[in-house]
Amino acid sequence: MFDSDAPLRGVRSSGERLTTTTVGHMDASELTTLLTPEALRLLRDLPPYENETDVLALVSRLRKDGHAPGLVATVLTQARLRKKAATKFGPFAQAMLFTQAGLEQATRLEVAAQHAGRFARAGCVHIADLGCGLGADSLALASLGLTVMAVERDEITAALAAYNLSAFPDVTVSHGEANGAHLDGIDGVFLDPARRTAGHSNTKRQMNPDDWSPSLTFALDTVRSVAAGGIKLGPGTDRELIPGDAEAQWVAVGDDVVEMGLWFGRAKREGIGRSALILTPTGHHELVAPGDAPDAPVGALARYIYEPNGAVIRAHLIGEVARRLGGHMIDESIAYVSTETPTLTPFARGFEVLETTAVDPKAISRALTTHDVGRVEIKKRGIDIDPATFRKKLTLTGFGDGVVILTRAGTKRLALIARRLDDRVEI
């Protein structure tokens, strides 16, 4: 039988007993309730629900069955989080426990698998996951047969990580600070510095890397001290912070740029300083370069226009995409590439330009009517316009789908009436 105290005993703690301070949207009393056999059985057997009416009926039934209000609320919260977590963890989510804050900051499992693969290819056998959160990266590492020492500074999150990783005997979870971890026998380190202030929904990003926990300086020193190291940072991290001895990789899941990773030692690939990795349901696609790619030349707007994936833009590899497409930029400071012929690519969204007009709602509305567009997506780059407000000024009378791209070339503001090139394959 599951012992409600077992997950807590599995956490090596460097602090005091759990307090009632709410951290990550869960306090100690909620955790204690959640880690009881009654709550876990109830969570396991909970029927699916789709809407608010179902929830009310379920609450009523559970209360009628004699379950305490706090228990019902805790279990239903976990059920909601598990459903939400399916987008990051797939079927694994149904066997995991979460906090709202922890789920928001957790690495997607398919991205964590990329991290784990780096350490496996580097020949590492014992990895320290410092700042493990709910355990996504540790789960991926352990799935490859690696021994993992996971450390998490928030005690409640550490307890949940211990539960989530309990199926892996070669994983230990400790509650403590990353800068207090002993790395004897460790040949690989993965660090995810906390970059937000503690609290609830009002958490704020810490812009100064010295204020991260641990600091970027400590993180860099630590990953350089072992055979292979990686640091997970936000995709918008200041590029000036990227050290010269790192491979910087921006990762996107589809069109969503989720992180920038810095890789060192044997985890860094030879001759690669910048990379953009795009994960799609049909495969993984990557652009690599020794450093920032030189920009492509600027030319006139042609029949087709491409918007590079955000990972490509962040990695400063737009010029590489332009060269692959045989195209040019329409403005040296705007991330659009234009070509005379269509070429499908996983690294950019392509559009056929049907007409160019002034950035004027009436002129755009007339052009949309001409091309029978009644449902429109508005994109903008290099121009200060709110798409939602601008949409209200348009008259849409057609039946087809279209795209309005608001941008500029030099000092000229342009509205491009376009249609999306849907299918993308690697070039």
CA distance 210 to 230: 18
Over residues 73-115, the pLDDT tens digits come to 999 999 999 999 999 999 999 999 999 999 999 999 999 999 9
Query: Which pLDDT belongs to residue 10?
Result: 47
Pair of tokens at residue 52: 């608010």
Query: Which pLDDT belongs to residue 185?
Result: 96
Over residues 366-385, the pLDDT tens digits come to 999 999 999 999 999 999 99
Q: What percent of the chain has pLDDT over 90?
A: 82
Mean pLDDT throughout 9-17? 42
Strand 256-265 and strand 247-253: the pairing is antiparallel
Pair of tokens at residue 105: 């900051």
CA distance 131 to 176: 9
Categorize the per-residue pLDDT at 1 as very low, low, confident or very high, splitting at 50, 70 and 90.
very low
Token pair 């709602």: residue: 361
CA distance 405 to 242: 33
Q: Which residues have a Cβ under 8 Å from the Cβ of 388 and sit 6 or more positions away?
A: none
CA distance 252 to 311: 6
Instruction: Read off the DSSP letter of residue 46.
Output: P
CB hemisphere CA count around 102 (13 angstroms): 31
191 within 8 A of 199, measured Cβ to Cβ: no
> Who has greater pLDDT, 18 or 356?
356
Computed over every residue of the chain, the mean pLDDT equals 90
Mean pLDDT throughout 226-248? 97
Query: Which pLDDT belongs to residue 23?
Result: 39
Query: Which pLDDT belongs to residue 204?
Result: 56
CA distance 409 to 331: 5
Token pair 């953009």: residue: 276
Over residues 166-192, the pLDDT tens digits come to 999 999 999 999 999 999 999 999 999
Over residues 306-349, the pLDDT tens digits come to 999 999 999 999 999 999 999 999 999 999 999 999 999 999 99
CA distance 351 to 363: 20
Q: Which residues have a Cβ under 8 Å from the Cβ of 167 and sit 6 or more positions away?
A: none
Weakest mean pLDDT among 1-5, 106-110, 298-302: 1-5
97 within 8 A of 152, measured Cβ to Cβ: no
Query: Which pLDDT belongs to residue 226?
Result: 98
Mean pLDDT throughout 276-285? 94
pLDDT over 80 (residue 11): no
* Long-range own/partner contacts, residues 35-43 (CB < 8 A, 24 or more apart): 35/4, 35/5, 35/7, 35/8, 35/159, 35/163, 36/4, 36/71, 37/1, 37/2, 37/4, 38/67, 38/71, 39/71, 39/74, 39/75, 40/2, 42/67, 42/71, 42/75, 43/75, 43/78, 43/79
Over residues 36-70, the pLDDT tens digits come to 999 999 999 988 777 777 888 889 889 998 999 99
Pair of tokens at residue 132: 């493990």
Categorize the per-residue pLDDT at 205 as very low, low, confident or very high, splitting at 50, 70 and 90.
low
Domain locations in the chain as residue ranges: 6-97, 103-289, 304-421
Segment (H or E) for 230: strand 228-233
Mean pLDDT throughout 388-405? 95
Query: Which pLDDT belongs to residue 233?
Result: 97
CA distance 303 to 47: 53
Categorize the per-residue pLDDT at 198 as very low, low, confident or very high, splitting at 50, 70 and 90.
low
Reported pTM = 0.88
Fold classification of 103-289 (topology level) = Rossmann fold (3.40.50)
